[in-house]
Amino acid sequence: LHHAKAAGRDTHRFYAEAMNAEAVAHLSTRSGLRRALERGEFLIHYQPQVSLETGAVTGAEALVRWNHPDKGMVPPGDFIPIAEDSGLIVPIGAWVLTEACRQAAQWHAQGLALSVAVNLSALQLQRSDLVRTVTGALSDSGLDPLLLELELTESMLIQNTDVVMDNLRRIKAMGVQVSIDDFGTGYSNLSYIGRLAVDKLKIDRGFVADLTRNHDSAKITAAVIQMAHSLNLTAVAEGVEDAETLEALRGLNCDFAQGYFLGRPGPAEAVERAARQVNPFKVGV
């Protein structure tokens, strides 16, 4: 009995310590994030988006990274959820938007009319100052609104509050493009697509990745592309990792693609170099 009690205490202490460590890690990431904003530790990697018709790079997705002084490059999956919980995603997201617009305007000034896609968090879309932030990023950079694209997820459109609907209407009215990210993984209430005048569906890489091996994934991808086209939307495939998948997507008349096979996320200069090549990825050759 004595032993069992001691073991119980130890187990309890073990869990308490583990929880404490997690809470501390969370807190330190939280204060770390605040410091990172002040010290300029965030940076953006850009992943090229390629036209499946021409093989040309037509734009890039902005993907934030945290260059941590001790931990090195921290991927967004490790800090975006904490940034969302703490509300810090709002200033971080505003920074990403501003910086991505500046970069796309610079590309444009260099003769490259590349679009830039920026991921939004639910919290940003729920705030009444989103339109002001977007307008600010566009006017500071001088970027043509048509070259800015905002990526939302299906779950963000479920809470169709007045603020969210108003934000989307006003963003669309500026000429900014709107796409649905990770399409097919969320709560599939398709009624919002027509109503919200979305421009693009980005097919989740979960379907694209095993397209050539899994019959269901192939069927779903084909159906999403068909649906997009019948609604006058553009279809983008995420997560293209090999030539066979690329060919299959061309066969399905998918419009654009993104993925490691076409280019990993990296510095803006890599996108620039790829965009200057005549037939950068030898699509269809």
Interface with Mg ion (CB under 5 A): 119, 151, 181-182, 238
Q: Does 63 bind ligand C2E (CB under 6 A)?
A: yes
Residues 5-39: b if buried by 16+ CB within 10 A, e if exposed: eeeeeeeeeeeeeeeeeeeeeeeebbebbeebbee
Q: Does 59 bind ligand C2E (CB under 6 A)?
A: no
Q: Does 263 bind ligand C2E (CB under 6 A)?
A: no
Q: Does 119 bind ligand C2E (CB under 6 A)?
A: yes
Q: Does 182 bind ligand C2E (CB under 6 A)?
A: yes
Q: Does 40 bind ligand C2E (CB under 6 A)?
A: no
Q: Which is nearer to ligand C2E, 115 or 119 (CB)?
A: 119
Q: Which is nearer to Mg ion, 32 or 125 (CB)?
A: 125
Q: Which is nearer to Mg ion, 32 or 268 (CB)?
A: 268
| Inter-residue contact 102 to 52 (CB < 8 Å) | no
Q: Does 49 bind ligand C2E (CB under 6 A)?
A: no
Q: Which is nearer to ligand C2E, 24 or 73 (CB)?
A: 73
Q: How far is CA 173 from the centre of its chain?
A: 22
Q: Which is nearer to ligand C2E, 151 or 272 (CB)?
A: 151
Q: Does 260 bind ligand C2E (CB under 6 A)?
A: yes
Q: Site residues (CB under 6 A) for ligand C2E? A: 47, 63-64, 75-77, 80, 89, 93, 96, 119-121, 151, 181-182, 205, 239-241, 258-260, 265
